[in-house]
Amino acid sequence: MPPTSTRPEARPMRADNSPHLIEAAQQRRLQCIARVRTALDDMERDGGPVTIAGVAARALLTELQCVAAGQKVE
């Protein structure tokens, strides 16, 4: 019986996608910050209480509305 190799078959290396992943993460962060700022502005304008839960709910609602309208949200 021939010896078995523990080394996997040679596969081509994938291209380093790190710059694209970093850029996408930065864009998601900036979009999230914009949604939170909009939610805070709306809550302040409405005169209601500003709570973490309220801001999170409004920011999430904004994101869901963008998805429903077919806008790309990253």
3-state secondary structure of 9: coil
User: Is 50 inside a domain boundary?
Assistant: yes
pTM: 0.61
| pLDDT at position 37 over 60 | yes
The total number of structural domains that make up the chain: 1
User: Is 48 inside a domain boundary?
Assistant: yes
pLDDT for position 5: 56
Express each pLDDT in 38-73 by its tens digit.
889 999 999 988 888 888 888 887 777 666 777 665
pLDDT for position 71: 64
Query: What does pLDDT average to over the chain?
Result: 80
User: Is 12 inside a domain boundary?
Assistant: no
Residue-number span of the structural domain to which 48 is assigned: 24-68
Q: How confident is the model at residue 31 (pLDDT cuts 50, 70, 90)?
A: confident
User: Is 16 inside a domain boundary?
Assistant: no
Which residues lie below 8 Å from residue 14, measured CB to CB, with a gap of 6+? Answer: none
